[in-house]
Amino acid sequence: MRALGTIAVILTGALLLYASGDFPAWGEPYSPANDSRVSRHYILKSFEETSVPNMVTAVLADYRSYDTLFETVVIFTAGIAIISILRGPVDKRVRLRRASEKSLRQSNLILAQTCRLLVPVIQMFALYVIAHGHHSPGGGFQGGVIFGASLILVALSFQLQTALDRISEKRAMILAGIGVLIYSGIGLTCVLLGSNFLDYSVLSKVLPLSAIEARSYGILGVETGVAFTVTAIMFAIYANLSSHGRMKGGL
Amino acid sequence: MIWQFNLIILGFLIMAAIMSLKVTDLLSASMIFGIYSFLMCLLWAAMGAVDVAFTEAAVGAGASTVFLVATVYSTKRKSSD
């Protein structure tokens, strides 16, 4: 059985290697991916139509906004699934606030000070990544993960409770819901203003912006929603995984 | 990007992939998986897909490694096969 598996793997690998010879050259402008009508439209028109220099962000959050909306919903659902599987009864015997303050004082001095110095910088960088996604690589997903990582760093350096005092599990789940609501709410606003779902250009009717600027700010709005959801879900997943769903102790 | 450099990264990538399967200590496997993600991120950046590289660095090398380590702590450290 093992030999059979090895043969299958080697055969498939050889086939894939053989097929990779037919790939277009790297950066080939006439490859099917670059030369189709749709790609040409994105490459030539995305800056004119959305005033977003980073084409990836324009495609991700404007042209293919449906896709990103449901990616956000997938993350939300994944978080809820993990919590509904792992979440157990909370141990309420320890006074929460006091335990947390104690752990702050008890933890290693170098660890505590490094964490104090790093966390604000990481969070500032996360906000920068979210807001600067129009111009440079980044956006809601990456920024959200980085922001969530700063919360995880607090939980790792001190105790899980220290991070939970800053943002409780309930608050995290509300934040995650708010993120999805912001995204779909912007889409619904577009419908109410008499256009298609997630067609941000119609937002210029209510905001003092031109139609093109409205698309740019619409992208910023939905990226903020994505960032809310991703941040909250990352932290909620970590809190549940590290404490067996008990919300106490942690790694 | 210099192709020799890419080739070295690709070699390390394949090594990391095989090692993360072969190692029986699950904590080491998670660590090697983080290395795999980081090398993958370098390759994405070398190919000019900076957005994908950024996501790989944040999600693959950062968050998912932490999740894997947290999960290993809740289970047995040694794999049986």
Q: What is the pLDDT of residues B39-52, one digit of tens each?
A: 999 999 988 888 99
Does residue A56 sit at the B interface (CB-CB below 8 Å)? yes
Structure tokens at A125: 């960088």
Does residue B59 sit at the A interface (CB-CB below 8 Å)? yes
In a domain, B48, yes or no: yes
Into how many domains does chain B fold?
A: 1
Q: Do B55 and A238 touch (CB under 8 A)?
A: no
Into how many domains does chain A fold?
A: 1
In a domain, B10, yes or no: no
Does residue A238 sit at the B interface (CB-CB below 8 Å)? yes
In a domain, B42, yes or no: yes
Question: Does the pLDDT at position B81 exceed 70?
Answer: no
In a domain, B71, yes or no: yes
The interface predicted TM-score of the complex, written ipTM, equals 0.88
In a domain, B2, yes or no: no
In a domain, B72, yes or no: yes
In a domain, B4, yes or no: no
Q: Which domain holds residue B47?
A: 24-76
In a domain, A21, yes or no: no
- Predicted local confidence at residue A205, as pLDDT: 87
In a domain, A154, yes or no: yes
- Predicted local confidence at residue A91, as pLDDT: 60
Q: Which domain holds residue A187?
A: 52-242
Q: Looking at chain B, which residue has its C-alpha nearest residue A144?
A: B58
Question: Does the pLDDT at position A141 exceed 70?
Answer: yes
Pick A148's closest partner by Cβ from B53, B63, B74.
Answer: B63
Q: How near does any CA of chain A get to the CA of B53, in Å? A: 9
In a domain, B52, yes or no: yes
pTM of the model: 0.87
